[in-house]
Amino acid sequence: MTMLVDSHCHLDFPDFAEERDQIIERAHEAGVKLMVTICTRVRRFQQIKEIAETYDSVYCSVGTHPHQAGEETDVTAEELIELAKHPKVVAIGEAGLDYFYDHAPREAQEKVLRTHINAARETQLPLVIHSRDADEDMMRILEEEMKIGRFPALLHCFSSGKELAMKGLELGLYVSFSGILTFKRSTELREIAAELPMDRLLVETDAPYLAPQPWRGKRNEPAYVAHTNKVLAEALGVSEKEMATATTANFLRLFSKVPQPA
């Protein structure tokens, strides 16, 4: 079985508290040998870090989700850079813009995003970008910031328009697909995926949210990333194995702090 990676999950969420060991065990059995548990609040980083320290196959990020941007506008790039020195921190984020929910004022979301970009540029750790209903502003900010200096990044849980995907590619970004890709109504998303180069694609669960089609509406978990990989393979017209090989290689290239598996 070709190894898979869940590049984005939230193992600290209470949904998993009772059975984290079993969930990680099930991921391993499904061939998911690496997972990145993503930070949504710097104030909760301690818990995230402890999970990553507990399991060899789990890495983590540090950052503030756009929903929480209003509470963490005071976090500086220096603080993020300092926390990212931990050996298990392999990414910055998730940070970005969410204009669908608008849980935080847009100015706060943009300010926090730019702080995270500074940290990603300085550490050269990939920035995990959350972007929802904010294509125009996201393209503008990414272009402005890339001109200041390059930073590695990925558009996580991609569900935006084609223009943002293409702009992202042009700027050197990777694109990660979640279970949304497998939903019946996601025809347009699968069409966008089919046009993207195979060496820029990643898969993720965003668990506990967004379980792929057979489990839709249920709690998601890292083992299910295999299904998203399968649907992505179908969209691109390649085998599941080829897709797994590509998404894993892409992950290891982008998340360069993760040691190459033996």
The amino acid at residue 159 is S
Alpha helices of 131-239 — where are they, by DSSP H?
Answer: 135-148, 162-170, 187-194, 225-236
Q: Which is nearer to Zn ion, 72 or 206 (CB)?
A: 206
225 vs 212: CA distance, rounded Å:
8
- Minimum CB separation of residue 96 from Zn ion in Å reads 7
Check: CB of residue 180 under 8 Å from CB of residue 186. Answer: yes
Q: Which is nearer to Zn ion, 84 or 233 (CB)?
A: 84
- Minimum CB separation of residue 166 from Zn ion in Å reads 21
120 vs 161: CA distance, rounded Å:
24
- Minimum CB separation of residue 112 from Zn ion in Å reads 14
- Minimum CB separation of residue 262 from Zn ion in Å reads 29
117 vs 96: CA distance, rounded Å:
10
Q: Which is nearer to Zn ion, 115 or 178 (CB)?
A: 178
107 vs 102: CA distance, rounded Å:
11
Binding-site ranges for Zn ion (CB under 5 A): 38, 94, 130, 206
147 vs 17: CA distance, rounded Å:
42
- Minimum CB separation of residue 9 from Zn ion in Å reads 8
Q: Which is nearer to Zn ion, 212 or 236 (CB)?
A: 212
Closest residue to Zn ion: CB criterion: 130
Closest CA to 246 of 184, 186, 200, 195: 200
Q: Which is nearer to Zn ion, 115 or 205 (CB)?
A: 205
Residue 126: count other Cβ atoms within 10 Å of its Cβ.
Answer: 28
For tokens 């042009």, the residue is 170
Check: CB of residue 119 under 8 Å from CB of residue 95. Answer: no
- Minimum CB separation of residue 141 from Zn ion in Å reads 16
Q: Which is nearer to Zn ion, 110 or 236 (CB)?
A: 110
For tokens 């929903």, the residue is 67
